[in-house]
A and B are shown apart, each in its own frame.
Chain A
Amino acid sequence: DAGVIQSPRHEVTEMGQEVTLRCKPISGHDYLFWYRQTMMRGLELLIYFNNNVPIDDSGMPEDRFSAKMPNASFSTLKIQPSEPRDSAVYFCASSSSVGGNQPQHFGDGTRLSIL
Chain B
Amino acid sequence: AQSVTQPDIHITVSEGASLELRCNYSYGATPYLFWYVQSPGQGLQLLLKYFSGDTLVQGIKGFEAEFKRSQSSFNLRKPSVHWSDAAEYFCAVGAQGNEKLTFGTGTRLTIIP
Contact = CB atoms under 8 A, between A and B. Distances in A.
Given A42-B103, A42-B106, A100 B96 contact: yes
Contact size range, B: 20 to 34
| Chain A contact surface mostly | strand
| Chain B contact surface mostly | strand
Contacts, number: 48
B94 A101 contact: yes
Contacts of B41: 108
B51 interface: yes
A91 interface: yes
A45 interface: yes
A45 to B, nearest CB: 6
Interface in A59-112: 91, 93, 95, 97, 100-101, 103-109
Contacts of A31: 99
A109 B106 CA distance: 17
B53 to A, nearest CB: 14
A43 interface: yes
Given A56-B100, A100-B96, A106 B105 contact: no
A50 interface: yes
B43 A95 contact: no
